[in-house]
Chain A
C-alpha cells in the first residue's frame, strides 16, 4: 500500500457523482482511468482526501455521431476503444496516428479519453489533440453546466478551468471540412515514452488549393499545449509551399515555445526538434489535404 489513506466513493450515475463532488469540494478528486493519478498517489505527490470513482458509470463511455456530423466521445471511453474504433479513425485520422503513441497498450486499456484531457499534462497527447481538432468540452457540476472550447480549457501545467466540483462529461469533435489533412509527429526516447517534443497539425485547403485553416499544436514545450498563432498568420490565404513551412517552423521554434531542460532533453534540443517536426508535419498534412485523405 503506497498511497496515503483516502475515502472512496463509487457512484453509479452521473447525478450521484456530481452530488458527491459538490459535497466533497476541494477534498474530492475524480478517479477516471487512474493511469496518471494512481502513479502520482503511489509517489504520494497526490494526496486526495477522497476519490470519486467513475468506473461504475457505464453511461459515460461511448462514441457516437453528432447531428453536425462530428463525434461525441464520453469522458470514460477507454483510450484503447478510441484507438480501435473504425469510425474515429475514418473521421479523424489524426487520432488513429496519435493513439498508439500514448504510453503502452496496458495503459490504454485502462486510461480514458476525458481523463487524459482533464489531467492536462503538458507532455500528454490528448490535451493537444483536443485543441488541434477544435474540440468542444461539456462540463457539468451539481449547480451548473457549460461548454468550453479546448482552446480555452488549459490554464497551466496540470491546470484547467475545471472547478473542484466539475466533471468533464463529453468531448465533441466537430467534423473536418473537405480538403482537410492532418499529421502527428513525435520524438521520444522509446516507444510509449513521454514526447521530448511533438507536433500535431490539422490543415484545410480551399478550392484554389490555398490554405484556409492551419492548426499547429506543440506538445511538451510549454506549460500547456500551444496552438501556434504564427502558423495561421503565415499560411492562411497562401499556397502551401516548402518555403512557407520552413518559415512557420522557424517562427514557432524562435518565438512561440518555452521548452524546459530536463534529464530527457535540453531546451535547445527541444527547440530544434520542434523546428524539424513542424516542417515535417505541415508537409505531410498538406499533402494529405490535397489527396483528400
Chain B
C-alpha cells in the first residue's frame, strides 16, 4: 500500500513522515514518534486511555488514522509537566492519589485539560460527566474527582 506524506504538529514540534493509511494515530504517536505517553487500551473507543487533543479538542487517537492528522495540531500528555516540574493537574493527581497503575492517567489528563479551561470552577456533577468517557480500574474514580477539584483551585485562571 502506498505511503502518504504527512506533516503534523505535535506538542509544538513539526514532524514530516510518510504513513500507511491504516496506521492509527495512536500507533503513529507511539511507534513513529516514540511518544509513548499516549496509552493504548481497547483500541475501539471505549476506554479513553488514548485520548489526545486534536486541534484543541479531546478525541480518541485510536479512532483516527494518522493520515487524517495531516496539517493538524496534536497535543499529548508529553506537553504537560516533566517529572521534576509537574503540571498543576498532575500535581493534584499525585497529591490525591488519583492513580495507582497509571495506565489510564494520560487519557484522563488530556480529557481534563480542556475541560478545566472551559470550566475553571467545575461542580462535582460536571466533573463526573467530563470523565464519563475514561475508564479507570484502580481508583474507583473518587480520588480522581478529588484531584480535579484540587487542580481547579491550583490552576491559574
Using CB atoms and an 8 Å cutoff, list the residues of chain A in contact with chain B.
Answer: 1-8, 10, 34-35, 38-39, 41-43, 51, 53, 55, 80, 100, 103-107, 109-110, 190-192
Q: Is the CB of B133 within 8 A of A7?
A: no
Closest 4 CB pairs of A and B: A104-B133, A8-B21, A39-B44, A109-B57
Q: Is the CB of A106 within 8 A of B58?
A: yes
- B48 beta carbon closer than 8 Å to chain A: yes
- B22 beta carbon closer than 8 Å to chain A: yes
Given the known inter-chain contacts A2-B43, A42-B44, please indicate yes or no for A106 contacting B22, CB distance below 8 A: no
> Among the listed stretches B64-72, B84-92, B146-154, which one makes contact with chain A, having 4 or more residues with CB under 8 Å of it?
B64-72
Given the known inter-chain contacts A1-B27, A42-B44, A43-B44, please indicate yes or no for A192 contacting B132, CB distance below 8 A: yes
Q: Which of B57, B63, B65, B130 contacts A80 (CB 8 A)?
A: B57
Q: Is the CB of A106 within 8 A of B23?
A: no
Contacts of A3 in B (CB 8 A): 22
Q: Is the CB of A105 within 8 A of B24?
A: no
Q: Is the CB of B65 within 8 A of A8?
A: yes
Chain B residue with the shortest CB-CB distance to A107: B45
* Candidate in B23, B65, B67, B111 with the most chain A CB atoms within 10 angstroms: B65
Q: Is the CB of A103 within 8 A of B1?
A: no
Q: Which of B1, B51, B57 contacts A7 (CB 8 A)?
A: B1
- B95 beta carbon closer than 8 Å to chain A: no
| Distance to closest chain A CB from B99 (angstroms) | 19
Given the known inter-chain contacts A106-B51, A191-B129, please indicate yes or no for A53 contacting B68, CB distance below 8 A: yes
Q: Is the CB of B22 within 8 A of A1?
A: yes
Q: Is the CB of A1 within 8 A of B23?
A: yes
- B39 beta carbon closer than 8 Å to chain A: no
> What's the Cα separation between A1 and B63 when bound, in Å?
11
Q: Is the CB of B63 within 8 A of A35?
A: yes
Given the known inter-chain contacts A190-B132, A191-B129, please indicate yes or no for A2 contacting B24, CB distance below 8 A: yes
| Distance to closest chain B CB from A98 (angstroms) | 15
- B62 beta carbon closer than 8 Å to chain A: yes
| Distance to closest chain B CB from A19 (angstroms) | 19
List 29 A-B pairs, Cβ < 8 Å.
A1-B20, A1-B27, A2-B24, A4-B22, A6-B21, A7-B1, A7-B2, A8-B4, A34-B65, A34-B68, A35-B63, A38-B45, A38-B63, A38-B65, A39-B45, A39-B63, A42-B24, A100-B129, A104-B132, A104-B133, A105-B111, A105-B133, A106-B60, A109-B54, A109-B59, A110-B59, A110-B64, A191-B132, A192-B133
Q: Is the CB of A34 within 8 A of B67?
A: no
| Distance to closest chain A CB from B5 (angstroms) | 12
Chain A residue with the shortest CB-CB distance to B115: A105
Q: Is the CB of B63 within 8 A of A34?
A: yes
| Distance to closest chain A CB from B59 (angstroms) | 5
Contacts of A41 in B (CB 8 A): 22
Q: Which of A8, A38, A107 contacts B67 (CB 8 A)?
A: A8
Q: Is the CB of A105 within 8 A of B43?
A: no
Chain A residue with the shortest CB-CB distance to B28: A1
* Candidate in A38, A106, A192 with the most chain B CB atoms within 10 angstroms: A106
Contacts of B48 in A (CB 8 A): 104, 106
> What's the Cα separation between A10 and B62 when bound, in Å?
19
Q: Is the CB of B62 within 8 A of A42?
A: yes
